[in-house]
Every structure is written in C-alpha cells, then in structure tokens.
Amino acid sequence: MFKILELKSADSTAAAEVGVRYSTRELALAAVKKHLRTFHVSGHNPEGNYWWARDAAGLRKCWISTAD
C-alpha cells in the first residue's frame, strides 16, 4: 500500500495524508499528478522523489510513501 503525503509549508511540523491509500505505486503516482493539476504552478525534483506546488499559502511538497 502507498499513500501521498503533503507538507503544506516550511512551518508545518507534520505531513498530512492526501486522498486514500493506493494498492500500487503507479496508482499513487497518477493520484499525485492529478492532485498537482489543481495548482497553477507545480513541478518535481530531477530525481522524481517529490513534487512541489505553489499557491497563495506558499510552497507545498508532496511525495509517495509506503503505508504502514
């Protein structure tokens, strides 16, 4: 199982889970890309470890994690 985590700002102490849990990494990847389309500006780091988005509240980071 995989989940999408999002850190909403640099001041956040804990990441929040976005959406539901996914059975495969590919489903989680599709879901994180769909989530980022809701922002006007987004992208990912060159290694593909995390994705970022910017909105009025600031910079957000998203990544895929295994669900415990």
Q: What is the pLDDT of residues 53-64, one digit of tens each?
A: 988 878 889 999
Q: What is the pLDDT of residues 29-52, one digit of tens each?
A: 999 989 888 888 888 888 878 889
Instruction: Please give the pLDDT value at position 17.
Output: 92
The pLDDT-based confidence of 1 (bands split at 50, 70, 90) is very high
The structural domains of the chain, with segments of one domain joined by +, span: 2-66
Higher pLDDT pick, 13 / 8: 8
How far CA 64 is from CA of 2, 27, 56, in Å, comes to 7, 10, 24
The closest of 58, 56, 49, 64 to 18, measured between CA atoms, is 64
Instruction: Please give the pLDDT value at position 22.
Output: 95
Give the Cα separation of 55 and 68 in Å (integer).
30
